[in-house]
Chain A
């Protein structure tokens, strides 16, 4: 727990520091911030079911907006949440254009097992433990998969920020994450080939 929680706080703190440096030092200094946060923004965009090209575009748009409106962000601690919100809103717009919905907009179908879709993913995973984990993650409903994918990034640790980035009511973040994790834990516990990392 310690490691994960410190990791999450660390990302927000580090982003805040780099964002301050950027604001004080000019546009040329945005690179470290971009490199720090892009993996998280990528996973958020992809969790919104965007195609890879759309996901890249949306992440790019979020950064362009940030640079444009950097002065309007009062608290540097919120920079990750701000970017996350922008990515999600843009993803929403693109998903609508493409006639799709976001996984967490759908009615919560519960966390019960579903048919694991045939995934090209498995072929990509050389690591046995990862294949096992994916077998179970892919049995979760899409909403849970999306939420765990983002939450696991050590994203915004405070629920207000995470709620903003995911567009889920703040009161639902904890319970939803809890239910999804519980379901995954149950699957894993019943799998003798799984050993806790």
Chain B
């Protein structure tokens, strides 16, 4: 390849480039969440979890269009199924009800990178209160240490 046109950087070029770097850092700095977001994604990836799939929810035909603002979604994996439904909580946060196939299962709701752990009761019920609005996802930790944890895609209610 021909690098003849290459011009060596002189001191002024270097100084200008440095100012350009500072300029873009001032104008459009990396968001403060960038590093933690990456580290969080990597820590989830390190769990080597099975990724659950979100099923298109078949809403009951009778449900009125203007029904109270609830959202529900079902996730499935090879061994587990999780259905969640969210409603407004009194404090302005979200109340998230969950049903999972099995009692005594530990399930984390991740909101803004904070894990809110809950354990399903004998009927597979789960409950989280005062969850901030925004993207959330769930991590299911099977009892069997040999079984892979299950991670759901991110959803927003």
Contact = CB atoms under 8 A, between A and B. Distances in A.
Contact of B26 (A5, A31, A130, A153): A130
Interface string A149-170: 1011110000100000000001
A interface majority secondary structure: helix
A125 B35 CA distance: 24
Contact of B19 (A52, A60, A133): A133
Interface string A33-56: 011001100110010000010001
Interface in B26-71: 26-31, 33-35, 37-39, 41-42, 45-46
Interface in B105-139: none
Contacts of B21: 152-154
B16 A56 contact: no
A124 B24 CA distance: 11
A190 to B, nearest CB: 14
Contacts of B22: 130
A59 B38 contact: yes
B39 A34 contact: yes
B27 A134 contact: yes
User: Number of contact residues on B: which range applies?
Assistant: 35 or more
Interface stretch (B6-14, B80-88, B90-98, B143-151): B6-14
Given A34-B38, A35-B35, A154-B21, A159 B3 contact: yes
A43 B22 CA distance: 11
Nearest to B30: A42
A11 to B, nearest CB: 11
A149 B41 CA distance: 27
Interface of A: 1-5, 27, 30-31, 34-35, 38-39, 42-43, 46, 52, 56, 59-60, 63-64, 67-68, 121, 124-125, 127, 129-130, 133-134, 137, 148-149, 151-154, 159, 170-171, 174-175, 178, 181, 184-185, 188, 196-197
18 contacts: A1-B9, A1-B13, A30-B42, A43-B28, A46-B28, A56-B34, A59-B34, A60-B37, A63-B42, A134-B23, A137-B20, A148-B17, A152-B24, A153-B21, A174-B3, A178-B5, A196-B12, A196-B15
Interface of B: 1-3, 5-31, 33-35, 37-39, 41-42, 45-46
